[in-house]
């Protein structure tokens, strides 16, 4: 109840930003050298991803949109360039539910000889029905977790002296997962599938991934940070389409609890560009402020086990040429 009241009141956190802050507001006075940065954003064709791409481009960041639907991406690019003719937007096709597609994307991106300062793992799916990826992995987990691009970031940070930043989009729903229910084999091949449970598990995995990778980056003395963010519950057409199911008073309360798309993109943009997040790694952010995640998400042994098992999975599913492309060049 306290969190709800804080949201309705729009109370700011320690850094002056809060649930009502927008992506443009939190990046307005960024001291990060944005004009020299290149960012990859997955799933930027709509919603939070598209707004993140727009705001980063407005701040002078070269934006690489890694997308499945190139037609939608072209439309987003056109809107961004119309608003900001100086925007540098590059489009690359990728299907994050296919490891071979991820490998192709990595090869194509590296062939451009671009730096890589920011990686925003924004893409995600919620599937109410059990579906499998190309490699026969449950689709929600495959799409929401198996996406990393690393060695290029470490090299860019070393050469430029600018801290690299990875942002994983997670969700407060990760806290719904209980320790005795979290199992890597069950994530990949669930026996009794539940869409909400699968989504919660995948979002827990994004935080655990950030925790494990943060430790490994520190052990390597790499100038790259990784953090997870909860964007909030963002206003879409779904609740308005079902207004008839609510009384007017309930609908009014629900609509005020939802964030606009720009408010939903604020935490991602803040962590990506703010000077105040420099050096912070392995953290969890919501409403543009560092906050607490669940005890399970903080479990280092679970994080390490998940990371080890997921890498073994990649080795199993990629052929030798793809392993060389994806693992030796792009993955730790």
Cite the active site residues.
193
Rounded-to-integer distance, Cα 311 and Cα 160, Å: 29
> Phi and psi at residue 159, in whole multiples of 5°?
-75, -35
Strands (E), the chain: 38-42, 62-67, 89-93, 118-121, 164-169, 224-230, 284-286, 289-291
Q: How large is the C-alpha radius of gyration of the chain?
A: 19
Sort strands 118-121 and 89-93 into parallel, antiparallel or unpaired: unpaired
- For the chain, the residue count is 332
Sort strands 289-291 and 284-286 into parallel, antiparallel or unpaired: antiparallel
CA angle 208, 257, 25 (to 5 degrees): 75
Cβ-count burial 258-285 (b if 16+ within 10 Å, e if not): bbebbbbbbbbbbbbbbebbeebbbbbb
Secondary structure of residue 227 in the 3-state scheme: strand
Nearest CA to 30 out of 12, 10, 56 is that of 56
Specify whether the CB–CB gap between 157 and 163 falls below 8 A.
yes
Secondary structure of residue 236 in the 3-state scheme: coil
Specify whether the CB–CB gap between 138 and 186 falls below 8 A.
no
Rounded-to-integer distance, Cα 326 and Cα 164, Å: 19
Rounded-to-integer distance, Cα 328 and Cα 42, Å: 21
């Amino acid at each position: 109840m306290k969190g709800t009241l804080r949201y309705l009141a729009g109370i700011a956190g320690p850094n002056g930003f809060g649930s009502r802050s927008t992506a443009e507001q939190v990046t307005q006075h960024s001291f990060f050298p944005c004009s020299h940065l290149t960012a990859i954003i997955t799933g930027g064709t709509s919603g939070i991803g598209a707004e993140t791409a727009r705001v980063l481009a407005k701040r002078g960041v070269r934006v690489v949109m890694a997308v499945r639907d190139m037609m939608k991406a072209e439309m987003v690019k056109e809107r961004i360039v119309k608003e900001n003719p100086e925007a540098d937007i590059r489009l690359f096709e990728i299907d994050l539910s296919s490891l071979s597609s991820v490998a192709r994307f990595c090869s194509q991106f590296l062939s451009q000889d671009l730096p890589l300062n920011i990686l925003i793992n924004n893409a995600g799916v919620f599937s109410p029905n059990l579906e499998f990826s190309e490699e026969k992995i449950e689709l929600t987990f495959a799409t929401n977790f198996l996406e990393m691009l690393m060695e290029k970031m470490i090299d860019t940070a070393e050469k430029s002296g600018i801290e690299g930043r990875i942002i994983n989009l997670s969700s407060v729903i990760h806290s719904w997962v209980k320790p005795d229910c979290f199992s890597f084999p069950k994530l990949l091949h669930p026996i009794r599938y539940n869409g909400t449970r699968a989504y919660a598990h995948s979002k827990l995995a994004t935080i655990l991934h950030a925790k494990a990778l943060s430790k490994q980056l520190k052990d390597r003395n790499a100038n790259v940070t990784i953090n997870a963010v909860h964007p909030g519950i963002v206003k879409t057409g779904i609740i308005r389409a079902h207004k008839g199911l609510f009384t007017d008073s309930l609908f009014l309360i629900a609509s005020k609890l939802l964030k606009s798309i720009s408010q939903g993109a604020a935490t991602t943009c803040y962590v990506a560009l703010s000077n105040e997040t420099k050096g912070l790694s392995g953290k969890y952010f919501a409403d543009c402020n560092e906050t607490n995640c669940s005890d399970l998400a903080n479990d280092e042994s679970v994080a390490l086990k998940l990371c080890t098992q997921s890498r073994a999975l990649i080795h199993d599913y990629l052929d030798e040429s793809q392993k060389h492309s994806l693992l030796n060049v792009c993955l730790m």
